[in-house]
Amino acid sequence: MTAERGERDEYPGADGRTSRAAVAKRVEALLARMTLEEKVGQFHQGHNLGDADAADIRLGRVGSAIVASSATAGNDRQERVRAATLNRLQRVAVKESRLGIPLLFARDVIHGHRTVAPIPLGQAASWSPEHVRRCAEVAAREARADGITWVFTPMLDIARDGRWGRIAESFGEDPYLAARLAEAAVRGYQGDDLGDGEHVAACAKHFVGYGAVEGGRDYNTLEVSAYTLHNVHLPSFRAAVRAGVASVMSAFCDLNGLPVAASPDLLRRILRDDLGFGGVLVTDWEGVLELTRHGVAGDGKEAARQAFLAGNDVDMVSGLYRDHLPGLIRAGRVPPERLDEAVRRVLTLKFRLGLFERPYVDEGEAARVQFTPEHRAATLDLARRSPVLLQNRGDLLPLGAGIRVGVFGAAATWRGQLFGTWTLDGEAGDVPTLLEAVRKVHPGPHEVWHTANIDEALDWARQTDVVIVALGETPTRSGEDHSVASLDLPAGQPEMLEALHALGVRVVTVVFSGRPLVLTRVVRASEAVLLAWHPGVCGGEAVAEILYGLVNPSGHLPVSLPRQTGQLPAHYSFKPTGRPLATFPQAYRLSDERDSPLFPFGFGLSYTRFEFSNLWVDPEVPLGQPVRVTVAVKNVGERAGETVAQLYLRDVVASRTRPVRELRGFERVALEPGACRQVAFTLTADDLSFSDETGTPRLEPGEFRVLVGENSSVTLEGAFRLLAEGPQKD
């Protein structure tokens, strides 16, 4: 992979006025006029601001506002953003405060704004950076039209425990896939020019390790070795920084005995110095105050000191910076240079966003740009690539003409079912339900029946060829603060499915979920299974098109699906151990369950079949040179379709234990029936190296294996030798 460094010579899209030098000059001029209180004011992020906050804004005591009324806004009801309210507050900042510094308005625009896209986990299932980028751009455009200039997304936590509700907000279990999607999302939100009025500042969160909370319990403590931190949890953040992400959010959990928000080692040494991040670092909600709850600070003042010295620039809502930083600076307990450094970053962001030139939003803009046919089309495009076809016994799908179809389940008619967690600005009225969408594409002549009542369903199913069962989780069962102990479907659902199946009717199950649920019983009691995640405003349509073959499914799992909860962790890039399963087949690691997951990472079926052949790998490559890999992909079925060619690497002998395979390349391939294409991958030094526990990249000569195919359990294998100039370690 090649990408620019975080600190570019020039801001992307910069013109004379927004060039790095011009912005720096304006920042210095402003900084020179600021009082200590005004400087500290730039760090204070208020929430749910209203007219009562005007006095503080007038005094320059507020720098930004999160437009949310509670801490877990994703699963709470929130008011829609009101541009008029934001303009009113902005007018106070610009016209009535001494220096007229505009406010930043932030919001959790996590998977779309008014045009709601699939949840991030569902977006990741598309394996399509381009579609993810485009949807981020749509969200940015819509949010900016409401006056939002800063979005707290993308979430780049690597999530390997489906019990953790926030896995819905993640790009899944794999650092490489998450890194590619991180770059795409950042580019989509931020565009080439933050000041063009159509883009917003993105925020890579939660730096770092939050995805590994113990037992998948939200907000829990965690222990992650430095080696794992560097190889698993940091790469997605590194990618976001390289793509120029404007801000990062520190995690509020504690990692290896110190809350991240109080760790200069993580925030200053690793994030700033090693990754080269130069933008704004914001705490998570009350992250400063939480240092007292974690028990590392005795009071709010000490918490403010620790958080600020650790490197957090902006204090999300706790108010402790505002209350204590001026005193701490006057007492010499926080160096003034540190203060100016942080103010510069906040002001720079405001200049780059063009807020000094255009602080207000046109109140008619939202109606013109939100939920337009163009935005719907971009979202539908992504929604069509997100559902994963897990099973299709006897090629039951796609459904043909002339059959009698019933739709069973409340999930088929509830509009909110499609939205997903963190849908703050979507409107239920915008959503065609699955049932409506099925009726639209169903060719007749028989009408599609629907019921949410199991007795009725059992009655009707007898006269039906196929029953589409819509089940799974409601959106609020996943997301923040919504972890679960069991990955099984909610009670009653598998039983209903089994009762239908027992009648001999053919069952197509559509699973809506925000996490990798255990689908073992679903797979047994259904002919076909489509995992639709929470697919967003166009999800009903996308799913119906797939069921009826108007669209060929092409989603692939961004996370392994376990056979049962106790099988966790079920991720694919485990270590060989001293008793590898391949050579010690008797060495089952569990006596009551297989080791393999129900469906491996990367898995996804299509209505056509693809064949991978002619894998060619550069046999010997000098250290530092790229490695070329090619493979032929052929559509050997009868329909046009898209697959994802995936390349996995195994470093056979290294100075540290390395996973049995790791994703190092992928490409979506669209092929007409009978067509064949050669897919080429280039592996760079970055792809071949890993970090040791100090974070130093190690590019070690020796043998590497390359595995290519449609999922992480493929066996088409090649190898190459990375040559050292001196003696080789193996």
State the Cα–Cα distance between residues 648 and 149, nearest whole angstrom. Answer: 38
Half-sphere exposure of 450 (CA within 13 A, CB side): 15
Q: What is the distance between the alpha carbons of residues 347 and 358, in angstroms, rounded to a whole number?
A: 15
* Pairing between β-strand 662-671 and β-strand 641-651 as defined by DSSP bridges: antiparallel
Cα–Cα distance between 262 and 280 in angstroms, integer?
A: 16
Q: How far is the CB of 66 from ligand BGC (least distance, A)?
A: 6
At position 649, the amino acid (one-letter code) is L
Nearer to ligand BGC, 480 or 642 (CB): 480
- Residue closer to ligand BGC, measured from CB, 480 or 700: 480
**Torsion sign over Cα 283, 287, 291, 292:** positive
Q: What is the DSSP secondary structure assignment for residue 562, as one 8-state letter?
A: -
Task: Confirm whether 284 is a catalytic residue.
Answer: yes
Chain residues in the site for ligand BGC (CB under 6 A)? 66, 68, 71-73, 108, 152, 205, 284-285, 480
In the bound complex, what is the minimum distance in angstroms from residue 261's beta carbon to ligand BGC? 12
As to burial, measured by CB atoms within 10 angstroms (0-12 exposed, 13-18 middle, 19+ buried), residue 32 is exposed
* Least spacing, CB of residue 316 vs ligand BGC, in Å: 7
Q: Under DSSP, is residue 369 helix (H, G, I), strand (E, B) or coil?
A: helix
Closest separation in Å from C-beta 155 to ligand BGC: 7
Structure tokens at 700: 């070690």
In the chain, what is the straight-line distance between the N-terminal and C-terminal CA atoms, in Å?
Answer: 27
- Residues ≥6 apart with Cβ < 8 Å to 611: 633, 634, 636
Given 108, 146, 284, 430, which residue is catalytic? 284
Distances (CA, A) of 357 to 18, 225, 361, 527: 11, 47, 11, 59
Q: Minimal distance in Å, beta carbon 207 to ligand BGC?
A: 11
Quote the distance between the C-alpha of residue 125 and its chain's center: 11
703 contacts 652 by C-beta, under 8 angstroms: yes
Burial class (CB in 10 A: 0-12, 13-18, 19+), 202: buried
**Smallest distance from the beta carbon of 256 to ligand BGC, in angstroms?**
20
Q: Is residue 306 within 8 Å of 35, Cβ to Cβ?
A: no
Shortest gap between Cβ of 575 and ligand BGC (angstroms)? 30
Strands 44-47 and 64-66 come out as parallel
User: Which residues have a catalytic role annotated?
Assistant: 284
